[in-house]
Chains A and B, each alone.
Chain A
Amino acid sequence: MKKVFERPKSMFPVPTHYCPGCGHGIVHRLLAEVIDEFGIRERVVGVGPVGCSVFIYNYINCDMYEAAHGRAPAIATGCKRMHPDLIVFTYQGDGDLASIGTAEIIHAANRGENITVLFLNNAIYGMTGGQMAPTTILGQKTTTSPLGRSSKREGYPIRIAEMLATLEGATYIARVSVHNPKAIIAAKRALKKAFKIQIEGLGFSLVEFLSQCPTGWGMSSREATKWVEEKMIPCFPLGEFKVPRSEKPVK
C-alpha cells in the first residue's frame, strides 16, 4: 500500500501542548514538512521565542536555541555569522516580534541576514492570558483592551509584512493564513519559498502566518477560523509583499 500521510521525520513523535484549534501546531507541521522535503534537518538551526511556542524545541528535532522575548533575530544573526552554511530560522509570535522585538526584526531584515523568520500573528498575547498585542485589530476585546481596541487609546494594528517589505535588505516577505486547507497549502508554498531563498543565499525571508487562537479570543475553533476569514484578513491582506528581483509577487 502507498503511504500518503505520515508524521514528518523532523518532528518528535509527541503530542503538543497547544490548545485545540490553535494554529501553532499547523505551522510547526508545515515547518517540519519543509525541512524534510529539502532534506536539511542536519543543517537546520531553530531559534524559538518567548510565547506559547516557547517549547517548539520539544517538537522540532534540530539544533535549537530558546531565545529571550523578542531577541530571536539577534541570536539567529550571531549563529548564522558563525555558521553561514547552516540554515537558521526564528519562530516568533506577534508580541515577541511586533512589540518587544521590533528593533531586532527590523535591523535583521535591513542587514539582509540570510535567515528565515516564521512570524505567527494571532492578534493576541496567547501565553500570558490574552492581553492586547500590537496586532490586535480595532474593536477587538482583550484582557487589557476590555472595551475593544480603540485607535485613539491604543493606536492601530501594526502590519509587519508591509512594513518590512519597504526595507531594501529584505528579500522575501509574504503573509499567509492557516485557517482552512486551501490557505494551509498556500502557506506551505510560501514557507518553502522562504527557505529556498535562504538555501540559495539570497537573503532575509519572512512569512507571516495569520493564526486562530480560540482560547485567547474566547471562541470555538470553528468561530475562530471564521473570525480569521472575516476580521483578520481584511485588516491583514494575504499575499507576497516582497520577492526576489527577478520575480513578480503573487497577489
Chain B
Amino acid sequence: MGEKVLITGNEAIGEAAIKAGCRFFFGYPITPQNKIPEYLSYRLPQVGGCFIQAESEIAAIYMVFGAAGAGARVMTSSSSPGISLKQEGISYIAGAELPCVIVNVMRGGPGLGGILPSQADYFQATKGGGHGGYHMLVLAPSTVQESVDLMTDAFDLADKYRNPVMVLADGYIGQMMEPVEFKERPQKVLPTKNWAIAGAKNRPRNLIRSLYLDPEELEQHNLKLHRKYLEMAKNEVRVETYLTEDAEIIIAAYGTVARIAKTAIKMLRERGIKAGLVRPITVYPFPYETFAKISEKVDNILVVEMSLGQMIEDVKLGVCGKAKVHFYGRTGGMVPTYDEIVTQIEKIVKEEVA
C-alpha cells in the first residue's frame, strides 16, 4: 500500500494528470474547478511541462487541439458554461481524431446557473454536445480516489482510441477533501503517434483535419468513427454493482449521487428493504447490458440524479420496458440526501410491491 495524502478532488485531478504523463494544460478560470489550473500552474513547470491561462475556453480547447495534434499528452478543465464554449473545439478534436482529456466539474445551469454541484451536463457529455455526431468516452468518478484512478485511464484511453475523453465530475467531488493514494501503475503499451505533427522529415507530411468536402469520403470517415465507438462500447464499459445479488429494488445513480445512494441502501436494508445500486462508471459507453440483466430480476428501478432526468433515458433504453423506471432528482445545486432517497424507495415499495 502506498502513502495516502489528504487532498481536494480538484488538486488530486491535477496531480493524477501529472502522474499520468500529462505535460500540457490550457484552461480558463471558472468556479468550482479553479484549483485544477491553479495547481497545475505551479506543478507543470516543475516537471518541464507547459501551463497557459488562455483568453477563453474557446482558445483553450484549440490550444489543446494544437498540442494534441503535435503528439502531446494534454488536458483542459472547466465547468459547465465553459464546457459549452468548448463544444465546437471538441467536435473538431473528435473529427480530427486527436487524443486529449477534458475535465468537467459540473455546476448548476442553464445559463450562468449557479456554482454548486450538478449533473445537468449529462446529455451534453454523452450525446455529442457539439455538432456533427461524435462521441467522447465519458468517465464519471464518485470519489476523489476514483477521480485519481480514472485520470490515468483517461489519458491511456484517449491515446488508445485517438479520441477525446471526458472526466465528468461535479462540484462536490472537485471541492471535497479525501485521503487518496497515487498508485504506481505499469505503463500501458499504446500505439505510436506517427500521425502527429512534428515536421515532415524523412516521411510524407502529416495533416490534421476534419474537412472532407466529398460526401462519399465524409461518409467513410464517419463510418470509421462509428466503428471506433462500437469498439469502445465492446471493450470499455465500466459499471459498479453494489448489493444487487439479492436486491428487490435497484437505485441507478452515478458520481456523487451514487455515493449518497449507498448510504441510503444501508439504511433501507436495516429497515428490511433489500435495495441495491447500479453505478455506471462510464456513462458513455453506457452499461445497457447491466440494466437489461437486472431488469429481469427486479420490477422497480429508481434513477436518482442531480438534474431533472437525463441518465434516466439511457436506463430506460437498457431496461427496455422490462421493469418500471422511477425518478427522483434535485437540481440547481441542491443535492439529494440519503433520507430523501430512502423516502422515495419506501414510497415505491409501498405503492408497487404492496
Task: Enumerate chain A interface residues (CB-CB to B < 8 A).
Answer: 41-45, 47, 54, 57, 61-68, 71, 74-83, 86, 103-104, 106-107, 111
Contact = CB atoms under 8 A, between A and B. Distances in A.
A64 B69 CA distance: 10
B128 interface: no
Nearest to A12: B205
Contacts of A44: 199
B209 A57 contact: yes
Contacts of A83: 70, 197-199
B50 interface: yes
A78 B55 contact: no
Contacts of B211: 54, 66
Interface of B is mostly: mixed
Contact of A66 (B198, B199, B200, B210): B210
B66 A76 contact: yes
A104 B56 CA distance: 9
Nearest to B68: A78
Interface of B: 24, 26, 50, 52, 54-56, 58-60, 62-72, 74, 88-89, 92, 96, 197-202, 205-211
Q: Which 10 A-B pairs have the closest CB atoms?
A: A78-B66, A74-B62, A78-B67, A66-B209, A75-B66, A82-B70, A107-B55, A78-B63, A42-B201, A71-B62
A41 B71 CA distance: 19
A18 to B, nearest CB: 16
B218 to A, nearest CB: 14
Given A103-B56, A107-B55, A62 B200 contact: yes
A74 B66 contact: yes
B251 to A, nearest CB: 41
A42 B199 contact: yes
Q: Among B62, B68, B92, B210, which residue has the most Cβ atoms of chain A within 10 A?
A: B62
A103 B58 contact: yes
B62 A42 contact: no
B197 A65 contact: yes
A21 B351 CA distance: 78
Contacts of B200: 41-42, 61-63
Contacts of B74: 78
A4 B96 CA distance: 41
Nearest to A103: B55
A103 B52 contact: no
Contacts of B207: 57, 63-66
Contacts of B205: 61-64
A79 B50 CA distance: 12
A8 to B, nearest CB: 15
B71 A82 contact: yes
Given A44-B199, A54-B211, A63 B55 contact: no
Contact of B62 (A54, A67, A86): A67
Contacts of B206: 63-64
Contacts of B26: 78
Nearest to A40: B199
Contacts of A106: 55
B92 A68 contact: yes
B134 to A, nearest CB: 14
A111 B50 CA distance: 14
Q: Among A63, A66, A111, which residue has the most Cβ atoms of chain B within 10 A?
A: A63
A45 B197 contact: yes
A54 B60 CA distance: 22
A104 B62 contact: yes
Nearest to B92: A68
Contacts of B96: 66
Given A65-B209, A68-B92, A81-B24, A75 B199 contact: no
Given A66-B208, A103-B55, A103-B56, A78 B62 contact: yes
B57 to A, nearest CB: 11
B58 A78 contact: no
